[in-house]
Amino acid sequence: MTDLPSTTWRMLSQRGGSQELPKGLDAAWDVSVGVAKRLLTRRGRFLRLAEHVMALEKHFANLADARLRTQADEFRERFRRGRDKPQDLLTAFAIVREVAFRRIGERPFLVQVAGALALDAGCVAELATGEGKTLAATMPATVAGWRGKGCHIVTVNDYLAQRDAEWMGPVYKFCGVQVAYVAQGMSPPERRQAYRADVTYCTNKEVTADFLRDRLALGRLPGLTSALLSKIAEGAGSGTDRLVQRGLHYVIVDEADSVLIDEAVTPLIISGDAPNPDQVEAFRQAVELAGQLSLPRDFRVNERYREVDLTSPGKQRLSQLAGELGGIWRGVRRREELVVQALTARHFYQLEKQYVVDDGKVVIVDEFTGRLMPDRTWRDGLHQAVEAKEDLEVKPPKDTYARVSFQRFFRLYRKLAGMTGTATEARREFWQVYHRPVVVIPTNRPCIRQVLPDRVFATEQAKWQTIVQEIRRLHDTGRPLLVGTRSVRASEHLSQLLTAEGLEHQVLNAVRHREEAQIVAAAGLRGKITVATNMAGRGTDIKLGSGVADLGGLHVIATERHTAGRIDRQLFGRCARQGDPGSAQAIVCLEDELARRHAPHVAGALRRRYAQTDREISTRLTRLLFDTAQAKATRMALRQRKSVLRTDDWLDEYLGFAGSER
């Protein structure tokens, strides 16, 4: 029975990571513990331990390859048998550090070693953009591989999973560690083989979907005991032979704020087809009926919460319009739900902003990264409402087979760690939801980034005009520019403006995502203009071209402030890496979505006040407006993520497969 993936059964044998969020006095106590944990887990401790690792450099540098390999093999056996001592971890890191230099030509700096120690301790390590998180992760991952229980390194897309596995592969191979990656399109046997490796690179979506598929393969087995008995009694027919994962032991989450915070709002669902021609026709009819209702007489729109409510006159008019349709339209509640979804699709879901049309299909665009999500659909008929609005083939809603949020899934791991360039702003949520303390690791070289004050304008026209002028001014000096936008539509609009001005540029967005790495890698070359959505090449290094540092380095322009300040800081972090010069500035306007949605009254009053001017209106008040709106948006997003987690807890308690078997 040794081949049975015991940790995959954690969801069956216990509730593992699904404990409810504390409330009342328990919540206050939990916050206090989190504060104490942050104070105890000081970066100074990891930096001091890292110095001990650095002190071993001379010893291992003098060893021949054969002797170094022998040392690695000895430590691998020590860790696999569980006979390692605290000092052995530091020596192991020193070995990996030397191997990295010999195999890929990069020797981790002191701060990278400190970050690696934080990861091994189960913390969220904030390593600034460009500080080498990929290399830092090889040290704790190698040790985890030596322990023989597997290590998952989660990245944000398939390209990075494959790139990092191949890039760091020589380091792992020298140390006797098997490395593999999981990507979309792989067959179950290929996935099973990848998960059996000591270190597996994968995306959050793939590893979570594989977990759900494994759970479905188990069928109605109520617990670990039943699974073991079924394996003995039925053999290949028990469903256990179809599992691809061998367990959830240790995970290192790259871009942890994106994976564990931003994407935690949407649960991952495994679903199947449920044909229903009458329902499909109803979605088309709903769009037609919605087009006959008028604002504000028949319905109201709440910009902040992205909600649509029918008024009493609107309900009466809908009843009259739907009277001749019959069927599903006879039900008051159902017809109102269908029309509200159609109105929501019309007012809040815009082409080339929330979605794009690719090969005749509606493909969702990730709000935080700007990447396409071809395997995702909106729930409760919203996706069908968008398809009907775009006059595309309407696919019937699917039946849900299995569901789990990223919050709950990642808490199922016995050991969870994360790394990102922007964790400080979310440190309370990292503790409250995952009980992971945040450790801020200093940069290897002093950061000399110049962040200029926001420039505020009253209208979008004035904002875009100024952005183009600023790009022209800086481009004439030879400095490279990276311009960040929040949507595909905005990036394409700016591209048209730059083309009209004769400014050669590159565009990186969800539609042109295939060239992402190449475009971003070249963004630091002299005279380059790169327009990018929020993905902005996370995970891809931007190196300055010859002579660019003397010109002032890369300049970053944000064309909007994001709902999360971390995303703004991530974009600004694309410049001034590893001690290079660079600067960043946001150019915004009162018509931006952030201001309209989260500070509508103040923004509206200011728009009326400055309605007749195209001049800059940057004042303490106008800048404070965006800070306040961003804070409100952050709080609202946190409430949404907690709501998803509470739904998971409710489903686990009332609709679970089995109770606890402890």
Find all residues with CB under 8 Å of 328, minimum gap 6, and list them.
Answer: 278, 279, 282, 334, 335, 338
Residues 554 and 607 in one domain: yes
Residues 392 and 410 in one domain: no
Cα–Cα distance, 140 to 145 (Å, whole number): 9
Mean pLDDT of 263-280: 78
Write down the pLDDT at residue 439: 94
Cα–Cα distance, 46 to 206 (Å, whole number): 32
Residue 1: pLDDT over 50: no
Best mean pLDDT range from 187-191, 211-215, 608-612: 187-191
For residue 327, give the CATH number of its domain.
Answer: 3.90.1440.10
Residue 16: pLDDT over 70: no
Residue 372: pLDDT over 80: no
pLDDT band, residue 2 (cuts 50/70/90): very low
Residues 258 and 321 in one domain: no
Residue 336: pLDDT over 80: yes
Residues 171 and 49 in one domain: yes
Structure tokens, 108: 């981790």
In a domain, 70, yes or no: yes
Residues 374 and 504 in one domain: no
Write down the pLDDT at residue 533: 82
Write down the pLDDT at residue 242: 79
Residue 465: pLDDT over 60: yes
In a domain, 521, yes or no: yes
pTM of the model: 0.84
For the chain, the domain total comes to 3
Asked whether 320 and 360 are in contact (CB, 8 A), the reply is: no
Residue 448: pLDDT over 90: yes
Q: How far is CA 21 from CA 26, 166, 434, 644, 649, in A?
A: 9, 39, 10, 12, 9
Describe the strand order of the beta sheet including 355-358 as a list of residue ranges.
Answer: 355-358, 361-365, 372-373
In a domain, 445, yes or no: no
Write down the pLDDT at residue 349: 92
Residues 43 and 143 in one domain: yes
At 193-250, the pLDDT tens digits run 999 999 999 999 999 999 999 888 876 555 555 665 666 666 555 556 778 998 899 9
Residue 162: pLDDT over 80: yes
Residue 8: pLDDT over 60: no
pLDDT band, residue 657 (cuts 50/70/90): very low
Domain boundary among 440, 461, 493: 440
Residues 150 and 219 in one domain: yes
Write down the pLDDT at residue 107: 96
In a domain, 63, yes or no: yes
Better pLDDT: 188 or 660: 188
Weakest-pLDDT range from 395-399, 584-588, 625-629: 395-399
Residues 496 and 607 in one domain: yes
Mean pLDDT of 420-441: 92
In a domain, 224, yes or no: yes
What residues does 481 pair with on adjacent strands? 529, 555
Residues 235 and 381 in one domain: no
pLDDT band, residue 17 (cuts 50/70/90): very low
Residue 655: pLDDT over 60: no
Write down the pLDDT at residue 652: 65
Asked whether 42 and 48 are in contact (CB, 8 A), the reply is: no
Write down the pLDDT at residue 143: 98
Cα–Cα distance, 432 to 117 (Å, whole number): 22
In a domain, 637, yes or no: no
Better pLDDT: 360 or 101: 101
Report percent pLDDT > 90 for the chain. Answer: 59
Q: Which amino acid is at 47?
A: L
Q: What is the mean pLDDT of the chain?
A: 86
For residue 551, give the CATH number of its domain.
Answer: 3.40.50.300
- In degrees rounded to 5, what are phi and psi of residue 180? -150, 175
Mean pLDDT of 530-553: 82
Cα–Cα distance, 629 to 568 (Å, whole number): 14
Residues 281 and 264 in one domain: no
Residues 433 and 306 in one domain: no
Write down the pLDDT at residue 662: 33
Cα–Cα distance, 323 to 317 (Å, whole number): 10
In a domain, 643, yes or no: no
Mean pLDDT of 616-629: 95
Write down the pLDDT at residue 278: 79
Residues 353 and 295 in one domain: yes
Mean pLDDT of 489-501: 93
Weakest-pLDDT range from 299-303, 421-425, 535-539: 535-539
In a domain, 644, yes or no: no
* DSSP annotation of 187: -
Domain containing residue 317: 274-397
Report percent pLDDT > 70 for the chain. Answer: 85
